[in-house]
């Protein structure tokens, strides 16, 4: 898959840094575009914001560099 396709904005995101950040949030085996578009579909307001921030817990065994 080349980038993420946003069905609401009819856009495709191909940023290498954005893909790297998202791949750390979701496992490679998951279907990222389907998850994101499901979140978009759940938002009912026209001017709604789908995601403002992610709060995740990282294991303390990771080094500071691995947590970035």
What are the residue ranges spanned by the domains of the chain? 1-68
In terms of pLDDT, which residue wins out, 28 or 47?
47
| Per-residue tokens: 24 | 């750390």
Q: What is the DSSP letter of 3?
A: S
In terms of pLDDT, which residue wins out, 22 or 63?
63
pLDDT for 10: 61
pLDDT (tens digit, 9 = 90+) per residue, 6-43? Answer: 666 566 666 666 666 666 665 554 666 777 778 778 87
Handedness of CA 35, 41, 42, 46 (dihedral sign): positive
pLDDT band at 46 (very low <50, low <70, confident <90, very high): confident
pLDDT for 41: 80
Contact 58, 67 (CB under 8 A): yes
């Amino acid at each position: 898959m080349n980038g993420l396709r946003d069905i609401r904005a009819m856009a495709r995101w191909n940023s290498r840094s954005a893909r790297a950040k998202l791949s750390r949030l979701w496992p490679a085996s998951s279907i990222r575009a389907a998850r994101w578009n499901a979140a978009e579909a759940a938002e009912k307001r026209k001017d709604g914001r789908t995601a403002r921030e992610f709060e995740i817990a990282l294991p303390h065994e990771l080094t500071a560099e691995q947590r970035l």
